Structure 1
């Protein structure tokens, strides 16, 4: 039972992190879009935001893979 509870808690924590990462990813997307539309941001700043956004996407994919059960075909 303790193992199941621990696994459930880990899965819940992963889901919460995933939700937070998705929100941050959306926020970055909106910020990049706004900076590009207004030409207010310099290219370096936009590039840094895009790099951060890509890192978030990589982390989200990793977490999603951890949450998806392995299916042996």
Structure 2
């Protein structure tokens, strides 16, 4: 994997992390959305580690 692709995956991973934190700070966080974001984040993490 080239560095640009890896950097893009890591940026998406960090962005998902920020969305999760933001959602969790809301007065009534959407648990379904948090779960969906965490699954996406895990898929990205798996893709990053496979390379």
* Bigger Cα Rg: 1
Same-fold call, TM cutoff 0.5: yes
2:22 alignment partner, one of 34, 37, 43: 34
* Deviation beyond 3 Å, 4+ runs, structure 1: none
Structure 2 segments unaligned to the other structure (5+ residues): none
Say what the alpha-carbon RMSD is for the aligned residues.
1.3
Structure 1 segments unaligned to the other structure (5+ residues): 1-10, 64-73
TM-score w.r.t. length of structure 1: 0.64
* More RCO (CA 8 Å, sep 6+): 2
